A = this chain, B = another copy of it.
Amino acid sequence: MSTIGFIGLGQMGSPMAANLIKGGHSLQVFDVNADAVAQMVTLGAVAAQTPGQAASQADFVVTMLPNGDLVRKVIFADDGVISTLSKQALIIDMSTIHPFETDALISDLSLQGFEMMEAPVGRTSVHAIKGELLILAGGTKSQIERAQPLFDCMGSETIDAGGPGKGIRVKIINNYMSIALNALSAEAATLSEAIGLEFEDAMKVMSGTPAGNGHFTTTWPGKVLAGDLSPAFMVDHAHKDLGIALDLANQVNVPMPCGAASRELYSITRAAGRGRQDWTSVFEQLRVTSGLEAKIK
């Protein structure tokens, strides 16, 4: 069992800390919100007055804070984590922050002889309460191994994201995709209603197509990911159908900004001479537009 400094007792941090206590660990907790600290004390935690006090004699320090500026502050402030932390301890930042901030924290700490890994979490506060978070571990093999007992208290699954900084990168990509997809889904569902479809009828169809199942495991593997852009469904046809949907939406006053933006990406793809390629070539084209090297001849 370890001594853990835990900083940030919000919607996520509180249940995570509670589960660490339940797991038998000794917690020294800090939050600017005194109520949150007090409540954790009733569960057996020791209250700290500063981040430094929470870190004192700890084997691990876990941070679960709103953003990277605050993570930096609680670590580097005069009364911050490293004002007391042992150089044998491991800092684990579990917040969702900007990956370049994570990189900078790891490297700035390393210059002063401290070790940090990141382990942002997937799923929601409901899962935090049940100890069923998805842990996206970014660190060396040995750091992850060392932190695993803590992760096992807070989550039901740990994914080794492939090295330091990779955990937060995977987290941001995953969130990007799911958050933007939520908005796109809202567009499709709203248009569906506006043109008189029952949502269930539309869903029934979409649940059997890439509309409902995504492209990563359906259309992409045999095509763009395999380096084959011969058309199963042409960019030109996709572009046409998108045009119909957008015209329709604009006639019935459903704003579809995500879809409208996507049409311009197909337009870029056509301008690059890919109109008769498979629609998955939008990925290859965006790679090229982003300055990455073309992968497919």
Contact = CB atoms under 8 A, between A and B. Distances in A.
How many of these chains are in the complex?
4
Nearest to A172: B245
A134 interface: yes
A201 interface: yes
A98, A177, A237, A292: residue with the most chain B Cβ atoms closer than 10 Å: A177
A268 B183 CA distance: 11
Nearest to A272: B291
A2 interface: no
Interface stretch (A25-33, A41-49, A84-92, A258-266): A258-266
A193 B271 contact: no
A17 B181 CA distance: 37
Interface in A133-149: 134, 136
Q: Which applies to chain A's interface (DSSP): helix, strand, loop or mixed?
A: helix
Contacts of A240: 66-67, 96
A292 B214 contact: no
Given A185-B283, A257-B257, A170 B205 contact: yes
A289 B255 contact: yes
A126 B232 CA distance: 7
A194 interface: yes
Top 5 nearest A-B pairs by Cβ distance? A177-B211, A183-B262, A176-B245, A253-B271, A257-B261
